[in-house]
């Protein structure tokens, strides 16, 4: 197994609940003709240094990284193995994953994706929403939480009035609100037909999240899954929707298993990336395609990067991401990255 480091700059700094991101450092992994990517993200995965150390240990000792301790490293190694297996058998990664789930239906040609609308003033928010809808998106995710809640409500109201009732709207607070603020927002968003509020409260506030459910807007958990298992979320009745990041969960297989567990409990899975490079982003598209009737996912993130590892085999058009059909990730694609 070989390991090679990389660094990708973002087009512009991205603010998250855990700080500002300006670059994505990670490692490519190759094994038996398969390719994997580890792009750790602080707060969701191990550090870059811990990831690199785990991958180097795996390369020298032939021991797979622990998905709980070093999920990004585990993701890379697992993905490389799946890619190699798919290329040998001429089965796409999505087809392999559906096989693991016991799903007999064929893989869809594309999966729906949402457009992300940044945390700007009302006019800019509306303009971004109009641009996204014009590009074919029928689901928008609006960032909220850094402004007074009344301003966020007005921003979302302006978007709803602009795009009409046929476009889905989600909001993502990145854990910024108190329970009282979240209640105010959710009560208003229910009247605006917002489908869900993502991570309204801090990651560890599972009981408080459970209290927010049943108010006309679903509660989605994202950052919480970096701290607790999907089983704990279910046990605490803390969510209607879970946001699954394959990189943070330890690999594509871990992600689809979490999706199956969630569905069994009546919770809807949504697949997103951790602002990954093209290899892991392609894998996330396959993960989404493996989940039957998956709702719009957060996979249209390639435009956030100023540079890239290789040409993207996935096209984003009319609010959907195409699913590569060749063996593994994309057959002989990414040839320049393979050894």
Q: Which residues are catalytic?
A: 143, 245
Decide: 324 and 299 in contact? Cβ < 8 Å.
no
Decide: 54 and 46 in contact? Cβ < 8 Å.
yes
Tell me the three state secondary structure of residue 19: strand
Q: What distance in Å separates the CA atoms of residue 167 and residue 130, rounded to the nearest whole number?
A: 11
CB atoms within 10 A of CB 256: 27
Decide: 225 and 248 in contact? Cβ < 8 Å.
yes
Tell me the three state secondary structure of residue 92: strand
Q: Which of 212, 235, 209 has the alpha carbon at shortest distance from 222?
A: 209
Strand residue runs (E) in 127-267: 139-143, 168-172, 194-198, 218-221, 241-244
Which burial class, exposed, middle or buried, applies to 215 when counting CB atoms under 10 A from its CB (0-12, 13-18, 19+)? middle
Angle between helices 122-134 and 149-163 (to 10 degrees): 30
Which burial class, exposed, middle or buried, applies to 165 when counting CB atoms under 10 A from its CB (0-12, 13-18, 19+)? exposed
Q: How many alpha carbons fall within 13 Å on the CB side of residue 149? A: 16
Query: For the chain, what's the residue count?
Result: 339
Tokens for 181?
A: 């603020």
Contacts of 148 (CB under 8 A, 6+ apart): none
Q: What distance in Å separates the CA atoms of residue 102 and residue 310, rounded to the nearest whole number?
A: 32
């Amino acid at each position: 197994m070989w390991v090679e480091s990389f660094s990708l700059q973002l087009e512009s700094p991205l603010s998250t609940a855990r700080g500002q991101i300006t670059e994505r450092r990670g490692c490519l992994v190759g094994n038996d003709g398969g390719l994997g990517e580890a792009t750790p993200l602080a707060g969701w995965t191990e550090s870059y240094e811990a990831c690199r150390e785990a991958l180097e240990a795996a390369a020298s000792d032939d021991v797979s990284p622990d998905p709980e301790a070093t999920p990004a490293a585990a993701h890379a190694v697992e993905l490389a193995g799946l890619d190699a297996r798919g290329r040998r058998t001429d089965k796409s990664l999505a087809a392999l994953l559906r096989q693991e789930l016991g799903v007999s239906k064929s893989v869809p040609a594309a999966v729906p994706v949402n457009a992300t609308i940044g945390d700007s003033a009302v006019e800019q928010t509306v303009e971004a929403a109009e641009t996204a809808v014009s590009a074919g998106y029928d689901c928008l995710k609006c960032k909220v939480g850094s402004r007074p809640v009344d301003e966020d409500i007005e921003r979302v109201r302006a978007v709803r009035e602009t795009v009409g009732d046929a476009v889905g709207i989600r909001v993502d607070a990145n854990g910024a609100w108190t329970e009282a603020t979240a209640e105010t927002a959710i009560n208003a968003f229910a009247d605006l037909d917002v489908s869900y509020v993502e991570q309204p409260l801090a990651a560890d506030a599972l009981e408080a999240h459970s209290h927010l459910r049943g108010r006309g807007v679903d509660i989605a958990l994202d950052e919480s899954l970096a701290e607790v298992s999907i089983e704990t979320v279910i046990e605490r009745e803390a969510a209607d929707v879970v946001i699954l990041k394959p990189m943070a969960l330890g690999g594509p297989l871990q992600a689809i298993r979490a999706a199956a567990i969630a569905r069994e409990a009546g919770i809807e899975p949504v697949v997103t990336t951790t602002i990954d490079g093209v290899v892991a982003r392609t894998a996330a598209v396959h993960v989404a395609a493996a989940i039957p009737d998956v709702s719009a996912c957060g996979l249209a993130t390639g435009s956030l990067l100023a540079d890239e590892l290789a040409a993207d085999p996935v096209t984003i058009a009319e609010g959907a991401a195409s699913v590569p059909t060749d063996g593994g990730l994309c057959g002989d694609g990414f040839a320049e990255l393979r050894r």
